[in-house]
Structure 1
Amino acid sequence: MQRRFASFSEFYPFYLSEHAHPVSRRLHFAGSTLVLAALSYVLLTGQWSALALLPVFGYGFAWVGHFVFEKNRPATFRHPFYSLLGDWVMYRDMLTGRVPF
């Protein structure tokens, strides 16, 4: 049975619980950083084909974290919008020290 969330603020604690392993969080952070780097590269060079790397960076690193370290199924499969937002909120929270690396 799929859990339902009334809001992102209700979802985010669940999202963090699915990212308890520090290596998984670090892989998410690395993947998100590479997404930002690839987007910057595209904007600076106009090499639009590099956009194909975004899902590889964004999901590849994260899924290794889930399947290898967390041993769970990524929330993206059940809650795609909240999960994408959760990735970036967790990224910010890691940058500001609210979520440990």
Structure 2
Amino acid sequence: MAERTYTSFADFWPFYLREHSRPATRRLHYIGTGLVIALAIAALLTRNWWLLIALPVAGYFFAWVAHFTVEKNRPATFTYPLWSLAADFRMFFLWIGGRLKPELERAGVTDTQT
């Protein structure tokens, strides 16, 4: 089956959420995204710019572990790298704000535990 091509972030977003349908997948993404934010803040505060090298490792390590072991799917970042990055942060901040569940439900995700 051919993979659908998304031409807007609005169309991509529900797909992204469905690709993160399991709570364990989302939790591992939250760890990675949280580490990215913490490392970026640490780099800014300490002016240790070498910490920036760790950003992709911190972000992608947990996400890819989640996709390959929990979700058993191909990370969306392989096809849509910028939209996936934006969606990672959107999902993270919606989760922090307690507003992710309705988004998951709209996307058709049945396990909406965050």
What are the ranges of 5 or more consecutive residues in structure 1 without an aligned counterpart? none
**Number of corresponding residues:** 101
Which residue is 1:25 aligned to? 26
Could you tell me how far 1:70 is from its partner in structure 2? 0.1
**Unaligned regions of 5+ residues in structure 2, if any?**
101-112
Distance (Å, rounded) in 2 between the aligned partners of 1:82 and 1:3? 15
**Is the Cα–Cα contact under 8 Å of residues 39 and 51 in structure 1 kept in the other structure?**
yes
For normalisation by structure 1, the TM-score amounts to 0.94
Identity of aligned residues (%): 50
**4+ runs deviating over 4 angstroms:** none
User: What residue number does 1:45 align with?
Assistant: 46
Deviation, 1:7, is: 1.1
Give the match for residue 93 of structure 1.
94
Measured in 1, the distance between the counterparts of 2:3 and 2:88 equals 20
Deviations 1:42-78 (A, max 9, x none): 0011111111110111100100110010000100001
TM-score between both structures, scaled by the size of structure 2: 0.84
Counterpart residue identity of residue 32, structure 1: T
CA RMSD of aligned residues (A): 1.0
